[in-house]
Structures are given as structure tokens and as C-alpha cells.
Amino acid sequence: MTDLPEPSSDEAPDGLAAQDADRRIQLLLDAVRDYAIYLLDERGHVASWNAGAERLKGYGADEIIGLHFSRFYTEEDRAAGLPQRALARAAEEGRFEAEGWRMRKDGTRFWTSVVIRPVRDDRGTLIGFAKVTRDLTERRQAQEELERARHAMAQAQKMEAVGRLTGGVAHDFNNLLTIIRTSVDMLQRPDLPEARRVRYIDAISETADRAAALTSQLLAFARRQPLRPETFDVARRIEGMRQIIETSLGAAVTVTIDAASDIRVHADANQFETAILNLVINARDAMPNGGTLRLEARPVASVPAVRGHAAAAGQFVAIRIVDSGIGIPADTIERIFEPFFTTKGLNKGTGLGLSQVYGFAKQSGGEVDVESQPGLGTAFTLFLPLADPTDEPGLVDGASLAANGLELATRSVLLVEDNEAVGQFARGLLEELGQVVTWVPNGDKALALLELAAGNYDLVFTDVVMPGISGIELALRIRARWPRLRVVLTSGYSHVLAEEGSHGFELLRKPYSLPTLLALLGLHDPPGDVPPATR
């Protein structure tokens, strides 16, 4: 019988080798102090513990081994069953990873990143879980500090913008009020010559229009201007503005207009003309010694991704205004659409013209872009959605026409206005125009009065913003109950009008003038077969 060879002195028995491997693994795990690395049994009880786990969680190995790992979770997470769900997901999906609050032995919380993986034997049977936890509290605190700093900066920027906005509004309105106040004072002088009296009346009228334009531009920038969209031919509209464009620019500027024919948009025509005129005036101010201005209009397949906005697919009309002026410095071009921001000299601009263009473009579903090189000129491009080819050009609104020569019939008018001063003034004005007026302060009283009169009025003239029933809700109820009764809305601003439109009702914007009111009253009632929504 041959004797088996003795093991060499450098070979250890299998059991000793396994023990040595386990010891080395534990030494490795204990050397990792930034991570808690430990094993759980299949039910979630702690089976091993490293030095990193003791440092992060505060428990020694003799304190924690054998206890359930759910004690590391917050009370609310335990009540929600989060520990059990974490193990179930790890077993089902092969991995669970999440961030959340965990509890130390002393009761303090810390923010962690947790990874749990299932441990299986050679036959695939689940025998436990390996869990790795990392403390991310400092990183989270740094992120929160950064977010707080960003929020504080955003608030500071917002307050700066609000301050600039309110300061600009106050400055411009005080200028306008100064003209009105002093003109009224002069009109009260008994010895004022007739010619000067007419001049001061004209000043008040012109200043009131400028004040209305100022609020309109502010609302346009905020995209809160109630628009009255209609379908119109861009080339014809621009050509109709040629004279005012050339007059605004002066003889020192050469104007070229090249607009493709038969391209139509569906937008507010008045706001469109205002936007074009604002861009033209901006170009004029950039060419104090004269130059050239080119106005083009072309259909385009999309809006490119340019400064401040992403690309937009669809059919658009690009109205481009290019000047040969001084250009816009690179450090200010990002701010040119802000309200009251202007690079012009003192009393040479309100800083609202470009903000109106921006607001009109956005509210109309389009965009506005600017390209500029100092010393070489600037190009503004206004993108508006192309109208459906089947849309017919809109008719001119009768309320926007001069009312000279109209013979007003006497009508019974139900005036609905919650502001007492405005209500009394409007009633007196309508009565001066020969109308029979009943004034009520809210929608509920208007409906009650209409029920008593069986809807026997010629016209309901109602404010939009009122407590209780709004003017739009009142109009909709009247349309349902008395479909042939004419309803006209009036408002200086309403978020409902800005968001939903006028629901097909006629709209007279405040402040309204005598000519527009005369034109409104002079309109004949629509034929009986015309649906109320088209009146």
C-alpha cells in the first residue's frame, strides 16, 4: 500500500482556507468606512455588520445583529410598509435602489442612497440580501442651499422686475395725469379764450388715448390682452400701412416693402398693425441719420430654434423688418423685450413697444426673433401661424368705425355695472345720447329684471368683471333664455376674456370713446335668423 503524500507546509486545509477568506473579506469590509455594507437574512434581520455601518448608524455589531433592518427607517416609512416593499422589489427585480431619510441610533435623521441586492445559493434559493448604504446628507444640504440661493435670486430678480414695471407705469401715468390735471384746471378758468379751450380739450382726449395704449401694451406683454382675431391678408394689411410707415420713418429713410401675395393669418388685426408700427419706430430710432428699412413677408414651414424659444413645426408667416441702423449691443439684446427696458435716451421711449410685439406674438401662437450686429443693423422677425386657406377675411368691426352721420334710434338699454361711479357716468352718457337706460349693479338683479320684463329690452350693456355672476356668465344665461336679445360686453381687463375670449359676444373695451359708443348704438339689430354667437 502506497502512503498518500503529506500536505506541503504552505497548503492549508479547506476549512482553514475558507475561514481565512471570510476574515479577509471582513477586514476589507471594515476598511470601507464611507459605506454601510452588511447582510440581511431572507426576512430582513441583520446578519453582518461592518465598521462603516457602525459609523453611519451608531450601532455596534453586538447591538444590531439579529434585529430587523426596519429600525433604520423613519416611523412614517415603517407605517407605510417601505422596508418590506424594498426587500420584495429586490427579490423580484434583482435590485432595489432609492434615496430617503434613515434613522441613527441617537434618533437623528440622515439622507441616504440605498442599494439592496438578493443573495441566492447555488440552487437559486433566496438566502438573504446584501445592503449598501451611503450617507448623502451633506450633498443634499448643499443642494438645498443651492436651491434656496436660486430661489432667493429669482425672488430678487422678480422684485427688481416688479419695481421696474411699477416705476415705469407710475412715471408714464403721472406724466399723462399731469397733462389731464392741468388741462382741466385751465378749462375751469372763466376767461379762457375759445381757441385755447379747444386745445386743452384736444390734449385731454389725446392723453386719454395714450393712457389706453399704455395699458394695452402692458396687457399685451403679459399675454393678457383680450384679442379679437380675424383672418386677413398680410400683404394688403401692410400695404395699407405704407403711408403711416413712411411718415413715421421720415424722408431720410428709404423704405422697401416686399410681401408675398395671398398669405393670410388669423390674428388681432389692430394688434398686428401696432406691432408692425412699434418695430418700424424702433428701427427709425436706430437710424438717427437715415438709412434703409426693408419689410418682407413670406410663408415658412416652421419656426427655427432661435434665441429664447425652441423650434416650432407648422405653417407660419414670417414678417421680417430689417434696418441699417446702429444695431443692438450683445449685452443688452437679451433684455430688449422686457417692459420699460430701453436703450434710448431720456423721454425718447417708454420701453413698451417691443414688449407689446413679444406679447402679441406669444398670445397669437407665434414667436418673435431678433438678430443684430452693432454698426450693421438689426432684423426683427415676427412669426404668426398661417390661416386655414378656407378661412374668409374678416369683416371690419362696425364699432371701430367713426360714427359720423349715424342716426340713433331710441333703445331701451339694461346697463349692468357694479362700479357706482362708472355706472352713473355711463347711464348719464347713454341718456345724453337719447337712450332709455335702466341701471343695475350686478348680474342677479339683471336676470331678475329681465324675467319681470320678459326680456323686453333692446340691448344689455354689461361689464365683465363683477362680483357674483360675471358679465360673461350673465351673457351666456341671456343667450340661453332670450336668444334674440343683443348683449354687449365691456371691460378694461378680464382674465376670463384673455383666456376664453368673448364667447361670440360683442366686446367694447374700456376706456371707450364717444365715436365707438355711437357706432355701437348705431348698429342695426342683426336679422332674426342670425345665430346669437355671430352677432
Q: What percent of the chain has pLDDT over 90?
A: 27
Which of 281, 209, 274 has the alpha carbon at shortest distance from 237?
A: 274
The CATH code belonging to domain 398-534 is 3.40.50.2300
Other C-beta atoms within 10 Å of 488: how many?
21
CA-to-CA distance for 131 and 137, rounded, in angstroms? Answer: 18
Q: What is the pTM of this model?
A: 0.41
pLDDT at 393: 47
| CA–CA dist 413, 430 (Å, integer) | 9
Give the model confidence (pLDDT) of 287-333 as tens digits: 988 899 999 999 888 777 665 555 566 788 999 999 999 888 877 77
Summarised one tens digit per residue, pLDDT across range 84-127 is: 999 999 999 999 999 999 999 999 999 999 999 999 988 899 99
Q: Single out the residue of 234, 241, 227, 230 nearest to residue 318, CA to CA.
A: 234
Mean of the pLDDT values across residues 127-145?
Answer: 88
DSSP string over 415-458 = EE-S-HHHHHHHHHHHHHTT-EEEEESSHHHHHHHHHHTTT--S
Low-confidence winner among 25-39, 216-230, 494-508, 521-535 (lowest mean pLDDT): 521-535
Task: Taking residues 45-73, report their average pLDDT.
Answer: 91
Q: What digits encode the pLDDT tens for the residues 247-272?
A: 778 888 999 999 888 888 888 887 88
Helices and strands (H, E) in the chain, number of each type: 16, 16
Determine how many CB atoms are found less than 10 A away from the CB of residue 184: 12
Cα distance between residue 330 and residue 307, in whole Å: 12
Residue 69: the pLDDT is 94
**Residues 34-60: what's their mean pLDDT?**
89
Q: 68 falls in which pLDDT band (50, 70, 90)?
A: very high
b/e for 71-92, b at 16 or more Cβ within 10 A? Answer: ebbeeebbeeeebeebbeebbe
pLDDT in the model for residue 276: 87
Say if domain 230-385 classifies as CATH 3.30.565.10.
Answer: yes
Non-local CB neighbours of 16 within 8 Å, separated by 6+ positions: none
Residue closest to 137 by CA, chosen among 90, 104, 95, 96: 104
Task: Encode burial over 309-329: b for 16+ CB neighbours within 10 A, e otherwise.
Answer: eeeeeeebbbbbbbbbbbbbe
Round to whole Å and give the CA distance between 74 and 466. Answer: 51
State the DSSP string of 330-392: TTTGGGTTSTT---S-TTS--S-HHHHHHHHHHHTT-EEEEEEETTTEEEEEEEEEBPPTTPP
pLDDT of residue 396: 37
Domain ranges for the chain, please list them: 15-135, 143-221, 230-385, 398-534
The architecture of the domain spanning 15-135 is: 2-Layer Sandwich (3.30)
Q: Which residue's entry shows cell 342677479?
A: 444
